[in-house]
A and B are shown apart, each in its own frame.
Chain A
Amino acid sequence: MTRYILRRLLQAIPLLFVISLVLFFLMQNMGDPIATMGGRNVTRSADRERLKRQLGLDKPIIVQYLYWLAGNDWAKADLDGDGIAETPGTRRGVLRGDFGLSLVNKKPVTQVIWERLPNTLLLMLTAEAMILIFALLIGIYSALKQYSTFDNIITTITFLFYSMPVFFFALVTMYIFAVNFKKWGLPYLPTVGMFEPTAGKTPLQVAWHMVLPTATLSFGFIAGYSRYIRSAMLEAMGQDYVRTAKAKGLPKPEIVYIHALKNAALPIVTIIALDLPFLLGGAIVTERIFGWPGMGRLFLDHVSRGDTPVVMGILMMIAVAVVIFQLIADILYAWLDPRIRYT
């Protein structure tokens, strides 16, 4: 097993390398970093030149990538443009945990991300928990009641929700539970931010503000996964081993929740890992609509301002997270399914 993990990690290195290289090249034209940085006060072309040299933008792109990756504290930069490189660089490079400074606010990228990460994690973990709980409940129940009214209604609703764009769901629920509930004098849900500034950031406030974003982020996945679990449960319930379990005289709950469910739900582990990128994608829209101060909104804000270091930092973190998550899922799957052994 250790060897398998090591091998997978080794395989991930070239993958991440390729991703970073492609993204870096892609990002070159994203905007004018000088304009992003200096705003109005860098109009003189001499200043521009100096800034460019400071940022290393005068170097060939491959060198820039190298500096990004490994830092430039081992090289000297020619700041005054006299052809002599005399000032040593200060960047330590991504490999040593330095993602550079944000062009917008000059803060270290890691710090900028770090400030937002917990909010996104809170949202995503809650959503993932909701997804699992509801998908399992709905999927198992409608499988056990196949072709019942409940099953038919659920099948239709899941199909509707499965096809519904995230923003439409968000806007409709906002309109109903925030705007109209308020109008009708009912307790209405908040639509913006994490807490009421006047009430402060109490857990209750945050939980209350999370209701709509979590629902928005999870509804599509609940619909998709419950459809999956329903059909997997139906398939498992028709298997010979379930008949054997019945022939043994086991009570129904034991047949359903141990014999059938253990087989039907195993692949969920893999599906969750493979869907992580989609969940992140959902998070970006959700955070934007509900003004949730997470990484998704951070990303949007900085993409639109062409803040390459932050955007690169977020994308690389996501790539690493996705790769590691898939590895964990594979290990977990092997651990749960006795038929699979990695060597």
Chain B
Amino acid sequence: MTHVLSIEGAGKVFPQGRGGSVTALAQTSLDVRENEFLSIVGPSGCGKSTLLRLMAGLERPSAGSINFRGQAVTRPSGRIGLVFQDYSLLPWRSILHNIELGLEFQNLAARQRRQRAVEHLDLVGLAQFKDAYPHQLSGGMRQRAAIARALAVEPDVLLMDEPFGALDAHTRLLMQRELLALWEKRRKTVVFVTHSIDEAVYLSDRVVVMEKDPGRVIEVLDVPLPRPRTRKDPDFGRLTESILELLKY
């Protein structure tokens, strides 16, 4: 089994107030496998975003290390993508130009940029909206555009921080299905943060369960359910139950 990302005893402590500090993430070890769909669940404030930001290189660990294919992650790069909850598109750019953004950073020629962007717009079903601006789109469409933008630079790993957290329940279910279809088409390593246990079980190969005070990983569970999955599957319910129990609900 090959590992794309290895988190080796990584932890994060933030300074707070006068000389105080908060442990956002206690020392954690975790491996992210090639092409797997890994979810991270846990209550608000348990360090899910911190863990993801460490993997993305947006935050440096206070202890331990993060390795991407054997190399320490010290800063963000186009290799490890990150999709935020909402409002991460540049509001002054049209959807098409938002998707071209990362390709501009790669200094791709204008024609290839356009071609790749259009291809990814098609992939997420936003072809008709290429000239629209973010404020003209619904929350679900904005998140599709954000996903297309992240995929367009062809990262090795796609990190997602509660990407559907701001959507209504109906749109959320649709987006889950679309994301799975994308993942099956593109076969990419995905690390998906959510506070919905149902969402985690529905989507993932493995689920990382976290607890807070201090933020730490308490369990990593395999989800051996066959795909395509249905929530009517009794095993689906049993797995959800066991995660709820781990979180002491």
Question: Do chains A and B interact in one complex?
Answer: no
